[in-house]
Amino acid sequence: MKEKTSNAGNATPERTQSEKLQRKTRRNKTSEVPGLKQALRSLHKLFKRGYGKKKREIRENHRKSKRRKQDKEYIFSAATYKKYKNIVYNYFVWLHENGFIIKHMQDAEAYIQPYLDFLVAAGNSPCYVKTVGCAILKLYPGRYLGNYKTPQRSRKMITKSRAHDLKYCLKIKRKYPVLFAFGLCIGLRKKKELAKIKGTDLVEKGGSYFVHVRGKNGQYRNAPIIGEPEMVAFIVQIFHDAGERKIFGPDGAQGRIPSDFDEHCFRAIYASKLYAGNARPIKKLEKEEKYYCRGDYKGIVLDRRAMKIASEALGHHRVSIIAQNYLWPLITMPRKLRKFFGLKKIRNNKRGKKKKSTKRKKSTKR
């Protein structure tokens, strides 16, 4: 296959015939569907305005000026822009194919609720329906998802990476011992972090080892290496052997990352171990230092400081994400799996108050 050379000097292979045809068909549809080109331009402006900026700084500036829902004015990452672009494209094509008459982008606002109802009837999850609503409403400032009817989300609906059993974990440990050790002790994302780390990313501070990682949106962090001393020494040796090469990947020292390796399960176990190692007794904490879980975890109280440590190690900034998506091994994981990973279950720390009886006491006087 012939190769094209770009202006930067990097060789990129030519697109296949089917890819060319797909792009051409999409380009033709964009010009045919009314309002779609204007909508895609509006999304691109939001992406151009927010790309490379820090969301936290923008939120603080807008909070000082008391502006509401400032995130609607920006799209911060390329992955989000790509996802929202596909959602908006599908929405306008759906309007065109189902006979809704629109001339401009503003006319499509009236049909957002029918489209969300269509997605619900088609069997899509509440999380996806809300994502679609948020993407479309980026086009219309001053409109919010709370004004539309969408199905309610709950933690019980999240089934990703939570259906594994002891057989799966033993298989990963037997087939991929290096990945098993990296998943338990570092907890990195598979494509954006684990596949890009090099042997030179190992950092030693005060006898402890960290991995210097470039995470989502170009944010750097030092992820601590935790676990048994033997496993930590095994990981450190792999970093030293790799040198300046990548550890995983086609040209990596340990080869490609297999598709059946589920990093989300191991990230949850890593976060649970990190939390358990830094958690303080709940009874000794002040009210401001406690995190009270809600929903199906109601009654469970967590240590905010330990949650923040685990959150930053995973590349997140909010403790609520840790409580919702990562600490489930300490709460709902089966007993055999918890024993295999050396975890202890978090008990319900909040006892229910006894209800006062409304019945009157019978008088003993005659």
Instruction: Flag whether pLDDT at 306 surpasses 70.
Output: yes
pTM over 0.85: no
Between strands 208-214 and 220-224, the pairing is antiparallel
If you count them, how many residues does the chain have?
Answer: 366
- C-alpha to C-alpha distance for 214 and 189, rounded to whole angstroms: 11
For the cut 60, the answer to whether the pLDDT of residue 351 exceeds it is no
Contact indicator for 43, 85 with CB cutoff of 8 Å: yes
* Cα distance between residue 209 and residue 182, in whole Å: 13
- Among the listed residues 119, 127, 140, 133, the one whose alpha carbon sits nearest the alpha carbon of residue 43: 140
C-alpha 307, offset from chain centre: 16
DSSP states of 113-177: HHHHHHHHHTT--HHHHHHHHHHHHTTSTT--GGGS--PPP-GGG--TT----HHHHHHHHHH-H
Higher-scoring residue by pLDDT: 13, 215: 215
Q: pLDDT class for 8, splitting at 50, 70, 90?
A: very low
Question: What tens digit of pLDDT does each residue of 243-294 get?
Answer: 899 999 888 888 888 888 888 888 999 999 999 999 999 999 999 999 998 8
Asked if the model's pLDDT at residue 179 lies above 60, the reply is yes
